[in-house]
Amino acid sequence: MAAHHAAGAAPGPLRMSRSSRSKSSHRWLREHFSDPYVKKAQAEGLRSRAAYKLEELLERDRLLKPGMAVVDLGAAPGGWSQYVRQALGDSGRVIALDILEMPPLAGVEFLHGDFREDDVLSQLESLLDGQPVDLVLSDMAPNMSGVDAVDQPRAMYLAELAMEFADNHLRPGGAFLIKLFQGVGFDEYVRQLRRRYEKVAIRKPAASRKRSPEVYALGQGKLARMK
């Protein structure tokens, strides 16, 4: 899913030679268009192959129930929000946020802005108007530079913000699903989740590309008090 592309305090991408860049982009395009999940998403009218990751992650624990309030962080191009809206039918609320523009989706409230900025967070809170959230989803990732020492801290910073949002807005008993990249800070982050949720599982859905370091952490049963 297109991520919450974080702009940067850290240095930008390293310059690659034109030949190595075109080789890697050709490889990506070849993989992308031969990907069975890409073909399936196109055939089923879904906005992104990422919807199948979410479907597997949510179906396994039957996490979606009619009438739920769901917040989708890093939502563009809208694959997750689209799936959740269809699964909830006419009930409940889906609020999506991304730094990138997202074409409108019927029944999804979209907030365009950078989640790291206080005023954007305030706008999201005023949309919620004190209503507790049943499920927080985060597929946020920074703009990847290819330099792990830059990318991993940026990714963990976004993950910390998402966890803090869930701390403040998720109802007791609610669930939190977040994309994480394995690397520095990952183990400590999972430890922090275990202090907050009854059950924490790390999952790698079938639609997640094998060579990607991404995994998904699912916290279920938010505790009223941290352990």
List the binding residues for S-adenosyl-L-methionine: 78, 80, 98, 114, 139
Structural contact between residues 137 and 83, judged by C-beta atoms closer than 8 angstroms: no
Q: Can you say which residues are annotated as belonging to the binding site?
A: 78, 80, 98, 114, 139
H or E element in which residue 72 lies: strand 69-73
How many residues does the structure list for the chain?
Answer: 227
Rounded CA separation 145/216 (Å): 21
Centre a 10 Å sphere on the Cβ of residue 148 and count the other Cβ atoms it contains.
Answer: 14
* Residue tagged active-site, from 39, 179, 199, 222: 179
Six-digit token string for 218: 């699912």
65 belongs to the catalytic site: no
Structural contact between residues 115 and 99, judged by C-beta atoms closer than 8 angstroms: yes
Active site (catalytic) residues: 179
